[in-house]
Amino acid sequence: MSKGNGSLSRRDFLGTSAKVGAGVALASTGLDLTAFKTDAAGVTLNYMGLNNNPPFVHGQQDCIAQFMKINPGVTVKFIPSPVTSADSYHNKLVTVLAAHDSSIDVFDSDVIWQAQWAPAGWAAPLDKVFPASAQKNYAPGMIASDTVNGHIYGIPWLLDTGHLFYRKDILDANGLKPATTWQELHDQGVMLGKKYPKMVPFVACYQSGQQLICNFMEYSWSNGGDFLDPKTGAVIFNSPQNLQALEMMVSLVKDKVVQPGIVSMLLDTGRVIFTSGNAIYHRNWNYAYGTSQANPKLVGKIGVATTPHFPGHASATCAGGWQYVVNQYSHNLDAATKFALWMGSAQGQLFKTLHTPWSPAYMPTNTDPQVLKKYPSYNILAQQALTERARPKTPFWTNMSTIAEAEITNALIGKKTAQQALKDANGKIEAILAGA
């Protein structure tokens, strides 16, 4: 990136950041980033990180280079995560951690996984190095997800919240405001689909997996529904609120408001439809804004709003995102923790934000002048993240959500009625908890 567009070059970053120097803490984050003493020489850390795209990996690796420059003698090796899906990456981590394997010291972890790692004793608690005074600078929904039984197990770094992106130019041309209710989105989609037959009215991701359950929970929460009772933990998946939510999703499919093949289409395949200029509305995570602005034809034409709601209820966006987690079985716990702190620091997150289309979980970075010059809507994305909600924190979430996803899909493809799908899912989920 050139200096002219307000971002830091790699040389600038490695040069100016080094001025922090050894023995200096970054008060802005509340994290102690003092360099290691010389007795740390010879330490090698293995970091497994997301491997989504070249610019993203470049940003990660440059932060690693800066950490090693400040801590001479400490070597950090980047190990790309499996790229097929989050589920395959999760399974890889389970294999490593369940074996008490020390081959990975620090790893990127999805926001929902700490509820599994912590009770199993696989993640190192970070309370002493990541106190509440520092946590307040990070996305609250992610901090809540990373906190299990009163202890913090992750340092958030990639902010991901569900948003409704839209084509401002098309809505303006038709005298429309962004839809605030799901019914408005449905009705606008039907009307605009007829007027713009070559465009998809609303691109979403209903592919079975966490993308589907995140989408469903936004319909559910915005209608007063939920998955588990937050007070008792009882399964309340089969409820009138959730029935109305699922029936709305079914109607969006039947009335061709969403794209064809939505139950089998990957998240980023749908994103490409929108960022190529071929869709009007799009539900996605933060990165979709940055990638849309990489298309010169869409610069200044993309707006972002909170996901819709049902009448009488408030919008509720799903908390996603990634954090740095330290393997409890690392043979270099101190060095691994120090590395995770550095990567999640203000400096590390600023650099990654300016060099990749991903927005930071360190909230002040979203209003940094350099960031706003490059991504004017990041402050809006951050504000919407203040009202995000976390999926249920339970070590059985993977099994529970897999059942829910399968039954939601049955309703979306017409194999079952929405009511029958919810009833069947509820019974199977109760059986999982009963046998826990």
* pLDDT per position as a tens digit, 142-192: 999 999 999 999 999 999 999 999 999 999 999 999 999 999 999 999 999
pLDDT, residue 34, reads: 59
Q: What is the pTM of this model?
A: 0.82
pLDDT, residue 29, reads: 55
Q: In 3D, which of 25, 21, 33 has the Cα closest to residue 338?
A: 33
pLDDT, residue 339, reads: 95
Separation of alpha carbons 210 and 197, rounded Å? 30
Helix axes 418-434, 240-254, angle to 10 degrees: 130
- Asked if 344 contacts 137 with a C-beta cutoff of 8 angstroms, the reply is no
Tokens 């979306």 appear where? 412
Q: Is 110 helix (H, G, I), strand (E, B) or coil?
A: strand
pLDDT, residue 56, reads: 62
How does pLDDT run across 49-59, given as a tens digit for each residue? 987 656 566 67
Mean pLDDT (whole number) for 404-411: 98
How does pLDDT run across 220-262, given as a tens digit for each residue? 999 999 999 989 999 999 999 999 999 999 999 999 999 999 9
Separation of alpha carbons 189 and 228, rounded Å? 32
The Cα-based distances of 314 to 220, 309, 348 in angstroms read 11, 6, 34
pLDDT, residue 84, reads: 65
Helix axes 10-17, 346-355, angle to 10 degrees: 170
| Amino acid code (one letter) for 384 | Q
- Asked if 341 contacts 127 with a C-beta cutoff of 8 angstroms, the reply is no
Q: How many helices (H) and strands (E) does the chain have?
A: 18, 11
pLDDT, residue 435, reads: 84
Ramachandran assignment for 21, one of left (phi > 0), alpha (psi -120 to 50 degrees), beta (any other): left
Binned at pLDDT 50, 70 and 90, residue 287 comes out as confident
Bridge pairing between strands 151-152 and 155-158: unpaired
pLDDT, residue 36, reads: 54
Separation of alpha carbons 287 and 285, rounded Å? 6
How does pLDDT run across 30-55, given as a tens digit for each residue? 565 655 554 556 899 999 998 765 65
pLDDT, residue 63, reads: 84
Separation of alpha carbons 66 and 82, rounded Å? 25
Separation of alpha carbons 303 and 6, rounded Å? 22
Q: Is 302 helix (H, G, I), strand (E, B) or coil?
A: strand
Which letter does DSSP use for residue 306 in this model? -
What does the block give as tokens for 67? 């950490």
Separation of alpha carbons 259 and 414, rounded Å? 16
Q: Is the pLDDT of residue 205 over 50?
A: yes
φ, ψ (nearest 5 deg) of residue 274: -70, -50
Separation of alpha carbons 128 and 55, rounded Å? 33
Separation of alpha carbons 216 and 222, rounded Å? 10
Q: What is the residue-averaged pLDDT of the chain?
A: 88
Q: Which residues of 182-197 are buried (b: 16+ CB within 10 A; e: fewer)?
A: beebbebbeebbeebe
pLDDT, residue 417, reads: 98
Which domains are seen in the chain, by residue range?
A: 3-160+320-385 (3.40.190.10), 163-318+396-434 (3.40.190.10)
Report long-range pairs for 13-20 (Cβ below 8 Å, ≥24 apart): 13/62, 13/66, 13/351, 14/62, 14/65, 14/66, 14/69, 17/66, 17/70, 17/347, 17/351, 18/66, 18/69, 18/70, 20/70, 20/347
Q: In 3D, which of 63, 52, 77 has the Cα closest to residue 354?
A: 63
Q: Is 185 helix (H, G, I), strand (E, B) or coil?
A: helix
Q: Is the pLDDT of residue 14 over 80?
A: no
What does the block give as tokens for 404? 């829910």
Residues in Cβ contact with 197 at an 8 Å cutoff, skipping those fewer than 6 apart? none
Q: Is the pLDDT of residue 103 over 90?
A: yes
Separation of alpha carbons 378 and 363, rounded Å? 10
